[in-house]
Amino acid sequence: MKNYRFNLTYFVLALLTVLLLQDYLKGVKTTVVPYNEFQAALESNEIKEVVVYNEEVKGYLKEARKKDNKTVIVARRVPPELRSELEKYGVKFWRANESSFLSDIFSWLIPMLFFIGIWIFLSRKIFSGGQGSFMSVGKSKAKIYVEKKIKVSFSDVAGVDEAKSELEEVINFLKDAKHYERLGAKMPRGILLVGPPGTGKTLLAKAVAGEAAVPFFSISGSEFVEMFVGVGAARVRDLFEQARKHAPCIVFIDELDALGKARGANPMGGQDEKEQTLNQLLVELDGFDGGEGVVLLAATNRPEILDPALLRAGRFDRQVLVDRPDRIGRLQILNVHVKKIKLDRNVELEQVAALTTGFTGADLANLVNEAALFATRNNRESVTLEDFNLAIERIITGLEKKSRVLNKMEQKIVAYHEMGHAIVAASCSKVNKVHKVSIIPRGVGALGYTIQRPTEDRYLMSPLELENKMAVLLGGRASEKLFFNEMTTGSSDDIAKVTEMARAMVTKYGMIKELGHIVYEQQQQSYLGIDQFSPKTKNYSEKTAQLIDERVKEIVDKAFEKAYHVLELNRDIVEKSALELIKKETLTGEELEVFFNQLN
Protein backbone atom coordinates (compact mmCIF):
# COMPACT_ATOMS: atom_id res chain seq x y z
CA MET A 1 0.00 0.00 0.00
CA LYS A 2 2.90 2.37 0.58
CA ASN A 3 3.95 1.98 -3.10
CA TYR A 4 0.38 2.71 -4.22
CA ARG A 5 0.29 5.89 -2.17
CA PHE A 6 3.73 6.97 -3.45
CA ASN A 7 2.85 6.53 -7.15
CA LEU A 8 -0.57 8.15 -6.76
CA THR A 9 0.89 11.24 -5.07
CA TYR A 10 3.42 11.82 -7.86
CA PHE A 11 0.77 11.29 -10.52
CA VAL A 12 -1.50 13.94 -9.03
CA LEU A 13 1.38 16.42 -8.64
CA ALA A 14 2.44 15.91 -12.26
CA LEU A 15 -1.12 16.41 -13.50
CA LEU A 16 -1.53 19.66 -11.57
CA THR A 17 1.81 20.93 -12.91
CA VAL A 18 0.81 20.29 -16.51
CA LEU A 19 -2.52 22.01 -16.03
CA LEU A 20 -0.93 25.04 -14.39
CA LEU A 21 1.69 25.38 -17.14
CA GLN A 22 -0.83 24.98 -19.93
CA ASP A 23 -1.62 28.67 -20.24
CA TYR A 24 2.02 29.58 -19.88
CA LEU A 25 2.95 27.24 -22.72
CA LYS A 26 0.21 28.79 -24.79
CA GLY A 27 1.48 32.27 -24.04
CA VAL A 28 4.90 31.68 -25.61
CA LYS A 29 3.57 32.51 -29.16
CA THR A 30 0.15 33.97 -28.33
CA THR A 31 -0.91 37.45 -27.26
CA VAL A 32 -4.30 38.74 -26.13
CA VAL A 33 -5.47 41.96 -27.81
CA PRO A 34 -8.61 44.10 -27.53
CA TYR A 35 -11.41 43.10 -29.80
CA ASN A 36 -11.37 46.31 -31.86
CA GLU A 37 -7.62 45.78 -32.47
CA PHE A 38 -8.41 42.28 -33.68
CA GLN A 39 -11.01 43.80 -36.03
CA ALA A 40 -8.39 46.26 -37.32
CA ALA A 41 -5.93 43.47 -38.00
CA LEU A 42 -8.63 41.60 -39.81
CA GLU A 43 -9.50 44.64 -41.94
CA SER A 44 -5.83 45.33 -42.77
CA ASN A 45 -5.46 41.76 -44.08
CA GLU A 46 -2.81 40.76 -41.46
CA ILE A 47 -4.62 37.57 -40.48
CA LYS A 48 -4.48 34.52 -42.66
CA GLU A 49 -6.68 32.19 -40.60
CA VAL A 50 -9.28 32.56 -37.81
CA VAL A 51 -10.59 30.00 -35.32
CA VAL A 52 -13.87 30.95 -33.63
CA TYR A 53 -14.72 29.68 -30.14
CA ASN A 54 -17.75 30.32 -27.95
CA GLU A 55 -16.16 33.13 -25.98
CA GLU A 56 -13.11 34.12 -28.06
CA VAL A 57 -11.56 34.15 -31.51
CA LYS A 58 -8.03 33.19 -32.38
CA GLY A 59 -6.26 34.74 -35.38
CA TYR A 60 -3.06 33.37 -36.96
CA LEU A 61 -0.98 36.25 -38.42
CA LYS A 62 0.70 36.05 -41.80
CA GLU A 63 3.93 37.22 -40.21
CA ALA A 64 5.09 37.88 -36.67
CA ARG A 65 4.54 41.32 -35.27
CA LYS A 66 7.63 43.37 -34.74
CA LYS A 67 6.60 44.78 -31.34
CA ASP A 68 6.06 41.47 -29.58
CA ASN A 69 7.17 38.81 -32.08
CA LYS A 70 3.83 36.99 -31.78
CA THR A 71 2.23 35.00 -34.57
CA VAL A 72 -1.15 34.39 -32.87
CA ILE A 73 -3.53 36.95 -31.44
CA VAL A 74 -6.55 36.19 -29.31
CA ALA A 75 -9.49 38.47 -28.53
CA ARG A 76 -12.62 38.09 -26.49
CA ARG A 77 -15.79 38.32 -28.54
CA VAL A 78 -18.10 41.24 -27.83
CA PRO A 79 -21.84 41.14 -28.65
CA PRO A 80 -22.62 43.00 -31.93
CA GLU A 81 -25.10 45.44 -30.38
CA LEU A 82 -22.55 46.54 -27.80
CA ARG A 83 -19.72 46.61 -30.34
CA SER A 84 -21.53 49.07 -32.60
CA GLU A 85 -22.28 51.31 -29.64
CA LEU A 86 -18.65 51.37 -28.48
CA GLU A 87 -17.20 51.98 -31.93
CA LYS A 88 -18.92 55.39 -32.03
CA TYR A 89 -16.60 56.71 -29.37
CA GLY A 90 -13.32 55.30 -30.77
CA VAL A 91 -12.21 53.50 -27.59
CA LYS A 92 -10.58 50.14 -27.14
CA PHE A 93 -12.90 47.49 -25.93
CA TRP A 94 -12.76 43.75 -25.21
CA ARG A 95 -14.66 41.18 -23.29
CA ALA A 96 -13.38 39.96 -19.94
CA ASN A 97 -14.31 36.52 -18.53
CA GLU A 98 -13.90 35.58 -14.93
CA SER A 99 -11.21 32.98 -14.51
CA SER A 100 -12.80 29.53 -14.13
CA PHE A 101 -9.55 27.58 -14.09
CA LEU A 102 -9.74 26.52 -10.42
CA SER A 103 -13.44 25.77 -10.57
CA ASP A 104 -12.92 23.66 -13.67
CA ILE A 105 -10.05 21.83 -12.05
CA PHE A 106 -11.91 21.07 -8.85
CA SER A 107 -15.09 20.14 -10.68
CA TRP A 108 -13.42 17.01 -12.02
CA LEU A 109 -10.45 16.66 -9.66
CA ILE A 110 -12.50 16.33 -6.43
CA PRO A 111 -14.73 13.50 -7.75
CA MET A 112 -11.65 11.77 -9.06
CA LEU A 113 -9.92 12.02 -5.66
CA PHE A 114 -13.11 10.82 -3.97
CA PHE A 115 -13.23 7.64 -6.02
CA ILE A 116 -9.49 7.11 -5.61
CA GLY A 117 -9.97 7.36 -1.81
CA ILE A 118 -12.73 4.76 -1.92
CA TRP A 119 -10.47 2.48 -3.94
CA ILE A 120 -7.64 2.88 -1.43
CA PHE A 121 -9.98 2.17 1.51
CA LEU A 122 -11.41 -0.97 -0.07
CA SER A 123 -7.95 -2.17 -1.08
CA ARG A 124 -6.72 -1.72 2.46
CA LYS A 125 -9.71 -3.62 3.92
CA ILE A 126 -9.33 -6.48 1.47
CA PHE A 127 -5.57 -6.88 1.16
CA SER A 128 -3.96 -5.21 4.16
CA GLY A 129 -4.42 -8.17 6.56
CA GLY A 130 -5.96 -6.18 9.40
CA GLN A 131 -8.26 -7.81 11.93
CA GLY A 132 -11.38 -6.60 10.13
CA SER A 133 -10.32 -7.34 6.56
CA PHE A 134 -11.43 -10.17 4.35
CA MET A 135 -7.87 -11.39 3.82
CA SER A 136 -7.27 -11.41 7.61
CA VAL A 137 -9.71 -14.27 8.28
CA GLY A 138 -6.82 -16.69 8.58
CA LYS A 139 -4.69 -14.35 10.68
CA SER A 140 -4.11 -15.02 14.35
CA LYS A 141 -6.00 -12.83 16.81
CA ALA A 142 -3.44 -13.32 19.55
CA LYS A 143 -2.67 -10.30 21.69
CA ILE A 144 0.98 -9.63 22.34
CA TYR A 145 1.93 -8.50 25.82
CA VAL A 146 5.32 -7.39 27.05
CA GLU A 147 6.66 -7.10 30.54
CA LYS A 148 5.65 -3.47 31.11
CA LYS A 149 1.99 -3.99 30.16
CA ILE A 150 1.25 -6.73 32.71
CA LYS A 151 0.99 -5.63 36.33
CA VAL A 152 0.31 -9.13 37.73
CA SER A 153 3.32 -10.95 39.16
CA PHE A 154 3.94 -14.14 41.13
CA SER A 155 3.56 -12.14 44.34
CA ASP A 156 -0.13 -11.71 43.42
CA VAL A 157 -0.64 -15.47 43.04
CA ALA A 158 -0.88 -17.55 46.23
CA GLY A 159 -1.84 -21.07 47.17
CA VAL A 160 -0.28 -22.72 44.09
CA ASP A 161 3.37 -22.95 45.05
CA GLU A 162 4.05 -26.13 43.03
CA ALA A 163 2.65 -24.63 39.84
CA LYS A 164 4.61 -21.42 40.42
CA SER A 165 7.87 -23.35 40.81
CA GLU A 166 7.25 -25.17 37.51
CA LEU A 167 6.59 -21.93 35.65
CA GLU A 168 9.47 -20.11 37.31
CA GLU A 169 11.78 -22.73 35.84
CA VAL A 170 10.37 -22.09 32.37
CA ILE A 171 10.85 -18.35 32.78
CA ASN A 172 14.44 -18.84 33.89
CA PHE A 173 14.95 -21.16 30.93
CA LEU A 174 13.82 -18.42 28.56
CA LYS A 175 16.03 -15.83 30.23
CA ASP A 176 19.15 -17.98 30.49
CA ALA A 177 18.85 -20.97 28.18
CA LYS A 178 22.62 -21.63 28.16
CA HIS A 179 22.60 -22.42 31.87
CA TYR A 180 20.14 -25.27 31.31
CA GLU A 181 21.52 -26.44 27.97
CA ARG A 182 25.03 -26.94 29.35
CA LEU A 183 24.01 -30.40 30.58
CA GLY A 184 21.94 -31.24 27.51
CA ALA A 185 18.53 -30.26 28.91
CA LYS A 186 15.87 -28.97 26.51
CA MET A 187 13.16 -26.46 27.10
CA PRO A 188 9.71 -28.08 27.51
CA ARG A 189 7.52 -27.57 24.47
CA GLY A 190 4.21 -27.25 26.24
CA ILE A 191 2.82 -26.88 29.75
CA LEU A 192 -0.84 -27.60 30.45
CA LEU A 193 -2.51 -26.05 33.49
CA VAL A 194 -5.46 -28.19 34.59
CA GLY A 195 -7.84 -27.74 37.49
CA PRO A 196 -11.35 -26.70 38.55
CA PRO A 197 -12.74 -23.33 37.48
CA GLY A 198 -11.65 -20.40 39.60
CA THR A 199 -8.40 -21.88 40.88
CA GLY A 200 -6.24 -19.26 39.17
CA LYS A 201 -5.02 -20.82 35.93
CA THR A 202 -5.47 -17.69 33.83
CA LEU A 203 -4.15 -15.51 36.65
CA LEU A 204 -1.07 -17.71 36.82
CA ALA A 205 -0.54 -17.29 33.08
CA LYS A 206 -0.81 -13.51 33.44
CA ALA A 207 1.76 -13.68 36.24
CA VAL A 208 4.08 -15.47 33.82
CA ALA A 209 3.65 -12.55 31.43
CA GLY A 210 4.45 -10.17 34.26
CA GLU A 211 7.58 -12.05 35.31
CA ALA A 212 8.99 -12.95 31.89
CA ALA A 213 11.04 -10.42 29.97
CA VAL A 214 9.89 -11.94 26.67
CA PRO A 215 6.88 -11.38 24.38
CA PHE A 216 3.74 -13.09 25.61
CA PHE A 217 1.03 -14.17 23.12
CA SER A 218 -2.41 -14.61 24.67
CA ILE A 219 -5.38 -16.13 22.81
CA SER A 220 -8.49 -18.18 23.62
CA GLY A 221 -9.10 -21.58 22.08
CA SER A 222 -12.49 -20.44 20.81
CA GLU A 223 -10.87 -17.74 18.64
CA PHE A 224 -9.45 -20.42 16.35
CA VAL A 225 -12.90 -21.71 15.46
CA GLU A 226 -14.74 -19.97 12.61
CA MET A 227 -17.54 -20.84 10.21
CA PHE A 228 -15.11 -20.90 7.28
CA VAL A 229 -13.41 -24.21 6.60
CA GLY A 230 -9.67 -24.11 7.13
CA VAL A 231 -9.60 -20.79 8.95
CA GLY A 232 -8.73 -22.36 12.31
CA ALA A 233 -5.76 -24.24 10.86
CA ALA A 234 -4.59 -21.06 9.11
CA ARG A 235 -4.74 -19.13 12.35
CA VAL A 236 -2.71 -21.81 14.13
CA ARG A 237 -0.03 -21.57 11.44
CA ASP A 238 -0.01 -17.78 11.62
CA LEU A 239 0.22 -17.83 15.43
CA PHE A 240 3.31 -20.02 15.44
CA GLU A 241 4.88 -18.03 12.60
CA GLN A 242 4.54 -14.89 14.70
CA ALA A 243 5.87 -16.73 17.75
CA ARG A 244 9.00 -17.87 15.87
CA LYS A 245 9.66 -14.30 14.75
CA HIS A 246 9.48 -13.05 18.35
CA ALA A 247 11.35 -15.97 19.93
CA PRO A 248 12.12 -16.44 22.75
CA CYS A 249 8.49 -16.02 23.76
CA ILE A 250 5.52 -17.67 25.47
CA VAL A 251 2.23 -18.56 23.76
CA PHE A 252 -0.76 -18.91 26.08
CA ILE A 253 -3.98 -20.61 24.87
CA ASP A 254 -6.84 -20.27 27.34
CA GLU A 255 -9.70 -22.83 27.32
CA LEU A 256 -7.74 -25.35 25.28
CA ASP A 257 -10.70 -27.75 25.32
CA ALA A 258 -12.48 -25.54 22.76
CA LEU A 259 -9.66 -26.34 20.34
CA GLY A 260 -8.22 -29.69 21.45
CA LYS A 261 -11.32 -31.86 21.85
CA ALA A 262 -10.68 -35.52 21.12
CA ARG A 263 -10.99 -36.42 17.45
CA GLY A 264 -13.69 -38.89 16.52
CA ALA A 265 -16.07 -37.55 19.15
CA ASN A 266 -18.22 -36.03 16.41
CA PRO A 267 -20.81 -38.65 15.34
CA MET A 268 -21.27 -36.93 11.97
CA GLY A 269 -17.80 -37.85 10.79
CA GLY A 270 -14.16 -36.86 11.03
CA GLN A 271 -14.12 -33.90 8.61
CA ASP A 272 -14.90 -31.45 11.34
CA GLU A 273 -13.38 -27.98 11.26
CA LYS A 274 -12.25 -28.36 14.87
CA GLU A 275 -10.42 -31.59 14.01
CA GLN A 276 -8.55 -29.87 11.18
CA THR A 277 -7.55 -27.10 13.56
CA LEU A 278 -6.38 -29.64 16.13
CA ASN A 279 -4.39 -31.53 13.50
CA GLN A 280 -2.62 -28.31 12.56
CA LEU A 281 -1.83 -27.62 16.22
CA LEU A 282 -0.32 -31.09 16.58
CA VAL A 283 1.82 -30.51 13.49
CA GLU A 284 3.03 -27.16 14.80
CA LEU A 285 3.91 -28.67 18.17
CA ASP A 286 6.08 -31.20 16.39
CA GLY A 287 7.44 -28.56 14.03
CA PHE A 288 9.47 -26.55 16.52
CA ASP A 289 11.98 -27.62 19.12
CA GLY A 290 13.22 -26.20 22.38
CA GLY A 291 16.07 -24.43 20.64
CA GLU A 292 13.64 -21.98 19.03
CA GLY A 293 12.68 -20.57 22.42
CA VAL A 294 8.90 -20.93 21.99
CA VAL A 295 6.98 -22.34 24.96
CA LEU A 296 3.29 -23.18 24.65
CA LEU A 297 1.26 -22.58 27.82
CA ALA A 298 -2.39 -23.69 27.94
CA ALA A 299 -5.18 -23.92 30.49
CA THR A 300 -8.29 -26.09 30.70
CA ASN A 301 -10.77 -27.37 33.26
CA ARG A 302 -11.84 -30.30 31.06
CA PRO A 303 -8.73 -32.45 30.57
CA GLU A 304 -10.84 -35.59 30.20
CA ILE A 305 -12.07 -34.55 26.73
CA LEU A 306 -8.68 -33.53 25.30
CA ASP A 307 -7.20 -35.56 22.47
CA PRO A 308 -4.61 -38.13 23.72
CA ALA A 309 -2.22 -37.09 20.95
CA LEU A 310 -2.19 -33.59 22.41
CA LEU A 311 -1.21 -34.84 25.87
CA ARG A 312 1.59 -37.18 24.92
CA ALA A 313 5.20 -36.48 25.83
CA GLY A 314 6.91 -34.21 23.34
CA ARG A 315 3.89 -31.97 22.94
CA PHE A 316 2.56 -31.00 26.33
CA ASP A 317 5.53 -32.30 28.28
CA ARG A 318 4.20 -31.15 31.64
CA GLN A 319 0.73 -31.13 33.11
CA VAL A 320 0.50 -28.92 36.16
CA LEU A 321 -2.46 -29.36 38.51
CA VAL A 322 -3.87 -26.10 39.84
CA ASP A 323 -6.24 -27.54 42.45
CA ARG A 324 -8.39 -26.05 45.17
CA PRO A 325 -6.09 -24.59 47.84
CA ASP A 326 -5.65 -26.19 51.25
CA ARG A 327 -5.99 -24.31 54.51
CA ILE A 328 -2.53 -22.75 54.28
CA GLY A 329 -3.11 -21.85 50.65
CA ARG A 330 -6.45 -20.22 51.46
CA LEU A 331 -4.76 -18.16 54.15
CA GLN A 332 -2.14 -16.98 51.65
CA ILE A 333 -4.82 -16.07 49.11
CA LEU A 334 -6.80 -14.15 51.73
CA ASN A 335 -3.66 -12.22 52.68
CA VAL A 336 -3.29 -11.17 49.04
CA HIS A 337 -6.89 -9.97 48.65
CA VAL A 338 -7.29 -8.20 52.02
CA LYS A 339 -4.57 -5.73 50.98
CA LYS A 340 -7.23 -3.91 48.99
CA ILE A 341 -9.65 -3.44 51.92
CA LYS A 342 -9.52 -1.84 55.38
CA LEU A 343 -9.37 -4.83 57.71
CA ASP A 344 -10.21 -4.71 61.40
CA ARG A 345 -7.21 -5.48 63.61
CA ASN A 346 -9.15 -8.16 65.51
CA VAL A 347 -9.85 -10.25 62.41
CA GLU A 348 -7.94 -13.54 62.39
CA LEU A 349 -7.76 -14.76 58.83
CA GLU A 350 -6.90 -18.26 60.08
CA GLN A 351 -10.49 -18.59 61.26
CA VAL A 352 -11.79 -17.44 57.88
CA ALA A 353 -9.51 -19.92 56.11
CA ALA A 354 -10.81 -22.72 58.35
CA LEU A 355 -14.42 -21.85 57.47
CA THR A 356 -13.85 -21.86 53.71
CA THR A 357 -12.97 -25.47 52.97
CA GLY A 358 -13.39 -26.17 49.25
CA PHE A 359 -13.26 -22.51 48.23
CA THR A 360 -11.21 -21.66 45.15
CA GLY A 361 -9.13 -18.53 44.68
CA ALA A 362 -12.00 -16.85 42.83
CA ASP A 363 -14.39 -17.77 45.66
CA LEU A 364 -12.05 -16.24 48.22
CA ALA A 365 -11.70 -13.05 46.19
CA ASN A 366 -15.49 -12.86 46.03
CA LEU A 367 -15.68 -13.55 49.77
CA VAL A 368 -13.41 -10.61 50.62
CA ASN A 369 -15.43 -8.33 48.36
CA GLU A 370 -18.75 -9.49 49.89
CA ALA A 371 -17.38 -8.92 53.39
CA ALA A 372 -16.35 -5.37 52.43
CA LEU A 373 -19.85 -4.79 51.04
CA PHE A 374 -21.47 -6.00 54.26
CA ALA A 375 -19.23 -3.69 56.29
CA THR A 376 -20.15 -0.77 54.01
CA ARG A 377 -23.89 -1.46 54.35
CA ASN A 378 -23.55 -1.48 58.14
CA ASN A 379 -21.55 1.79 58.14
CA ARG A 380 -18.53 0.22 59.81
CA GLU A 381 -15.11 1.81 59.80
CA SER A 382 -13.41 -1.50 58.92
CA VAL A 383 -14.26 -5.07 57.87
CA THR A 384 -14.84 -7.33 60.87
CA LEU A 385 -15.02 -11.09 61.39
CA GLU A 386 -18.80 -10.84 61.54
CA ASP A 387 -18.78 -9.44 58.00
CA PHE A 388 -16.75 -12.43 56.83
CA ASN A 389 -19.21 -14.82 58.50
CA LEU A 390 -22.13 -13.10 56.82
CA ALA A 391 -20.32 -13.22 53.48
CA ILE A 392 -19.65 -16.97 53.88
CA GLU A 393 -23.32 -17.60 54.57
CA ARG A 394 -24.24 -15.45 51.60
CA ILE A 395 -21.99 -17.48 49.27
CA ILE A 396 -22.85 -20.93 50.64
CA THR A 397 -26.58 -20.63 51.25
CA GLY A 398 -27.58 -17.69 49.08
CA LEU A 399 -29.32 -14.40 49.69
CA GLU A 400 -31.76 -14.07 52.58
CA LYS A 401 -35.39 -14.18 51.47
CA LYS A 402 -36.91 -11.89 54.10
CA SER A 403 -39.98 -11.42 51.96
CA ARG A 404 -40.70 -15.16 52.04
CA VAL A 405 -42.94 -15.55 55.10
CA LEU A 406 -43.66 -19.07 56.38
CA ASN A 407 -46.80 -19.93 58.28
CA LYS A 408 -46.41 -21.10 61.84
CA MET A 409 -46.72 -24.80 61.02
CA GLU A 410 -44.09 -24.66 58.27
CA GLN A 411 -41.80 -22.61 60.50
CA LYS A 412 -42.12 -25.23 63.22
CA ILE A 413 -41.35 -28.09 60.83
CA VAL A 414 -38.29 -26.27 59.50
CA ALA A 415 -37.06 -25.55 63.04
CA TYR A 416 -37.32 -29.20 64.10
CA HIS A 417 -35.77 -30.27 60.81
CA GLU A 418 -32.72 -28.04 61.20
CA MET A 419 -32.24 -28.89 64.86
CA GLY A 420 -32.39 -32.55 63.87
CA HIS A 421 -29.32 -31.98 61.69
CA ALA A 422 -27.56 -30.09 64.48
CA ILE A 423 -28.27 -32.56 67.29
CA VAL A 424 -27.18 -35.58 65.23
CA ALA A 425 -24.03 -33.75 64.14
CA ALA A 426 -23.18 -32.94 67.77
CA SER A 427 -23.76 -36.58 68.82
CA CYS A 428 -21.72 -38.29 66.08
CA SER A 429 -17.96 -38.45 66.15
CA LYS A 430 -15.65 -37.35 63.35
CA VAL A 431 -18.08 -34.88 61.79
CA ASN A 432 -17.73 -31.13 61.33
CA LYS A 433 -18.72 -28.92 64.22
CA VAL A 434 -22.02 -27.02 63.90
CA HIS A 435 -21.37 -23.31 63.43
CA LYS A 436 -24.87 -21.85 63.00
CA VAL A 437 -28.50 -22.91 62.56
CA SER A 438 -31.16 -20.68 61.02
CA ILE A 439 -34.73 -20.89 59.77
CA ILE A 440 -34.50 -17.76 57.64
CA PRO A 441 -35.14 -18.77 53.99
CA ARG A 442 -32.15 -18.34 51.70
CA GLY A 443 -31.32 -18.95 48.08
CA VAL A 444 -33.66 -20.60 45.63
CA GLY A 445 -35.40 -23.20 47.79
CA ALA A 446 -33.71 -23.41 51.19
CA LEU A 447 -36.23 -22.71 53.96
CA GLY A 448 -33.50 -23.06 56.60
CA TYR A 449 -29.89 -24.10 56.89
CA THR A 450 -27.33 -25.65 59.20
CA ILE A 451 -23.71 -24.63 58.75
CA GLN A 452 -20.94 -26.91 59.93
CA ARG A 453 -17.41 -25.66 60.41
CA PRO A 454 -14.64 -28.11 59.48
CA THR A 455 -11.80 -28.38 61.96
CA GLU A 456 -9.30 -29.44 59.30
CA ASP A 457 -9.01 -30.32 55.63
CA ARG A 458 -9.77 -33.99 55.00
CA TYR A 459 -8.75 -36.02 51.96
CA LEU A 460 -9.61 -39.55 53.15
CA MET A 461 -12.77 -40.82 54.81
CA SER A 462 -13.48 -44.16 56.48
CA PRO A 463 -16.81 -46.04 56.26
CA LEU A 464 -17.70 -44.87 59.78
CA GLU A 465 -17.16 -41.23 58.84
CA LEU A 466 -19.29 -41.63 55.72
CA GLU A 467 -22.06 -43.29 57.75
CA ASN A 468 -22.00 -40.49 60.32
CA LYS A 469 -22.12 -37.90 57.56
CA MET A 470 -25.16 -39.61 56.05
CA ALA A 471 -26.80 -39.77 59.49
CA VAL A 472 -26.35 -36.01 59.87
CA LEU A 473 -27.93 -35.43 56.44
CA LEU A 474 -30.89 -37.64 57.41
CA GLY A 475 -31.23 -35.99 60.85
CA GLY A 476 -33.78 -33.48 59.55
CA ARG A 477 -35.92 -36.18 57.93
CA ALA A 478 -35.70 -38.33 61.09
CA SER A 479 -36.76 -35.33 63.19
CA GLU A 480 -39.84 -34.80 61.02
CA LYS A 481 -40.72 -38.48 61.39
CA LEU A 482 -40.21 -38.42 65.16
CA PHE A 483 -42.15 -35.26 66.01
CA PHE A 484 -44.74 -35.03 63.23
CA ASN A 485 -45.03 -38.68 62.19
CA GLU A 486 -44.68 -37.66 58.56
CA MET A 487 -41.93 -36.51 56.21
CA THR A 488 -42.07 -33.45 53.95
CA THR A 489 -40.44 -32.50 50.68
CA GLY A 490 -37.92 -30.31 52.51
CA SER A 491 -35.43 -33.18 52.76
CA SER A 492 -35.31 -34.00 49.04
CA ASP A 493 -31.82 -32.56 48.64
CA ASP A 494 -30.62 -34.44 51.75
CA ILE A 495 -31.73 -37.85 50.54
CA ALA A 496 -30.26 -37.17 47.08
CA LYS A 497 -26.83 -36.56 48.65
CA VAL A 498 -27.18 -39.59 50.92
CA THR A 499 -28.12 -41.84 48.01
CA GLU A 500 -25.13 -40.64 46.02
CA MET A 501 -22.75 -41.27 48.93
CA ALA A 502 -24.18 -44.73 49.64
CA ARG A 503 -23.95 -45.76 45.97
CA ALA A 504 -20.37 -44.51 45.83
CA MET A 505 -19.51 -46.67 48.88
CA VAL A 506 -20.94 -49.70 47.09
CA THR A 507 -19.87 -49.19 43.47
CA LYS A 508 -16.72 -47.02 43.63
CA TYR A 509 -15.03 -47.39 47.00
CA GLY A 510 -15.28 -51.18 47.39
CA MET A 511 -16.56 -50.99 50.99
CA ILE A 512 -19.04 -53.89 50.73
CA LYS A 513 -17.65 -57.34 51.51
CA GLU A 514 -20.14 -59.27 49.37
CA LEU A 515 -19.25 -57.28 46.25
CA GLY A 516 -15.50 -57.53 46.74
CA HIS A 517 -12.78 -55.08 45.80
CA ILE A 518 -14.33 -54.22 42.46
CA VAL A 519 -15.33 -50.92 40.89
CA TYR A 520 -18.73 -51.17 39.25
CA GLU A 521 -19.01 -47.53 38.16
CA GLN A 522 -16.09 -45.54 36.85
CA GLN A 523 -15.30 -42.34 38.68
CA GLN A 524 -15.80 -39.13 36.75
CA GLN A 525 -12.57 -37.21 36.23
CA SER A 526 -14.28 -34.00 35.18
CA TYR A 527 -13.66 -30.87 37.21
CA LEU A 528 -17.06 -29.57 36.12
CA GLY A 529 -19.12 -32.38 37.65
CA ILE A 530 -20.83 -35.37 36.09
CA ASP A 531 -21.47 -35.14 32.39
CA GLN A 532 -25.12 -36.02 32.02
CA PHE A 533 -24.75 -36.66 28.31
CA SER A 534 -22.04 -39.31 28.63
CA PRO A 535 -23.38 -42.86 28.26
CA LYS A 536 -23.09 -45.00 31.37
CA THR A 537 -21.93 -48.54 30.76
CA LYS A 538 -23.23 -51.38 32.89
CA ASN A 539 -20.54 -54.06 33.10
CA TYR A 540 -22.23 -56.34 35.60
CA SER A 541 -25.12 -58.78 35.70
CA GLU A 542 -28.68 -58.18 36.83
CA LYS A 543 -27.98 -60.23 39.96
CA THR A 544 -25.11 -57.91 40.84
CA ALA A 545 -27.29 -54.87 40.10
CA GLN A 546 -29.92 -56.20 42.49
CA LEU A 547 -27.27 -56.76 45.16
CA ILE A 548 -25.98 -53.20 44.66
CA ASP A 549 -29.48 -51.77 45.12
CA GLU A 550 -30.02 -53.85 48.26
CA ARG A 551 -26.74 -52.76 49.84
CA VAL A 552 -27.36 -49.10 49.01
CA LYS A 553 -30.75 -49.31 50.68
CA GLU A 554 -29.25 -51.03 53.73
CA ILE A 555 -26.64 -48.29 54.16
CA VAL A 556 -29.23 -45.52 53.89
CA ASP A 557 -31.65 -47.27 56.25
CA LYS A 558 -28.86 -47.81 58.76
CA ALA A 559 -27.94 -44.11 58.67
CA PHE A 560 -31.59 -43.11 59.10
CA GLU A 561 -32.06 -45.46 62.06
CA LYS A 562 -28.93 -44.06 63.67
CA ALA A 563 -30.19 -40.48 63.31
CA TYR A 564 -33.66 -41.43 64.57
CA HIS A 565 -32.18 -43.19 67.62
CA VAL A 566 -30.05 -40.16 68.55
CA LEU A 567 -33.03 -37.79 68.29
CA GLU A 568 -35.32 -40.14 70.19
CA LEU A 569 -32.73 -40.41 72.97
CA ASN A 570 -32.50 -36.58 73.18
CA ARG A 571 -36.12 -35.71 72.44
CA ASP A 572 -36.45 -33.07 75.15
CA ILE A 573 -33.30 -31.25 74.05
CA VAL A 574 -34.50 -31.21 70.44
CA GLU A 575 -37.81 -29.67 71.49
CA LYS A 576 -36.17 -27.00 73.68
CA SER A 577 -33.65 -26.03 71.04
CA ALA A 578 -36.31 -25.97 68.30
CA LEU A 579 -38.51 -23.64 70.33
CA GLU A 580 -35.52 -21.38 70.96
CA LEU A 581 -34.74 -21.43 67.23
CA ILE A 582 -38.33 -20.42 66.41
CA LYS A 583 -38.05 -17.55 68.87
CA LYS A 584 -34.67 -16.20 67.66
CA GLU A 585 -34.69 -17.54 64.04
CA THR A 586 -30.90 -17.99 64.24
CA LEU A 587 -28.69 -19.76 66.79
CA THR A 588 -24.92 -19.32 66.79
CA GLY A 589 -22.34 -21.88 67.83
CA GLU A 590 -22.08 -20.48 71.37
CA GLU A 591 -25.85 -20.61 71.85
CA LEU A 592 -25.99 -24.16 70.52
CA GLU A 593 -23.27 -25.34 72.91
CA VAL A 594 -25.71 -24.87 75.80
CA PHE A 595 -27.95 -27.56 74.31
CA PHE A 596 -25.14 -29.78 73.02
CA ASN A 597 -23.64 -30.07 76.50
CA GLN A 598 -26.88 -31.71 77.70
CA LEU A 599 -26.88 -34.50 75.09
CA ASN A 600 -26.96 -38.11 76.21
Q: Which residues are catalytic?
A: 418
Instruction: Give the integer Cα–Cα distance in Å for 287 and 383.
Output: 54
Instruction: Give the integer Cα–Cα distance in Å for 370 and 319.
Output: 34
Stretch (H or E) spanning 345: none
Strands (E), 301-367: 318-321
Instruction: Give the integer Cα–Cα distance in Å for 313 and 316.
Output: 6
Phi, psi of 588, deg, nearest 5: -85, 175
DSSP letter (8 states) at residue 442:
B
502-507 long-range contacts, Cβ below 8 Å, gap at least 24? 502/470, 502/552, 502/555, 502/556, 502/559, 503/548, 503/552, 505/463, 505/466, 505/555, 506/548, 506/551, 506/552, 506/555, 507/548
Identify any residues that bridge with 56 across adjacent strands, giving them in sequence order: 76
Count the helices and strands in the chain (H runs, E runs): 21, 13
Q: Are 219 and 239 in contact (CB under 8 A)?
A: yes
Phi, psi of 424, deg, nearest 5: -65, -40
Instruction: Give the integer Cα–Cα distance in Å for 591 and 238.
Output: 66
Identify any residues that bridge with 350 across adjacent strands, giving them in sequence order: none
Instruction: Give the integer Cα–Cα distance in Å for 576 and 43.
Output: 139
How many C-beta atoms lie closer than 10 Å to residue 139's C-beta? Answer: 17
Instruction: Give the integer Cα–Cα distance in Å for 336 and 365.
Output: 9
Identify any residues that bridge with 32 across adjacent strands, giving them in sequence order: 74
Q: Are 561 and 467 in contact (CB under 8 A)?
A: no
Q: Letter for the amino acid at 394?
A: R
CA 494 to chain centroid: 35
Phi, psi of 93, deg, nearest 5: -145, 145
Stretch (H or E) spanning 363: helix 361-377
β-pairing, 318-321 vs 433-438, is unpaired
Q: Are 450 and 437 in contact (CB under 8 A)?
A: yes
Q: Are 406 and 414 in contact (CB under 8 A)?
A: yes
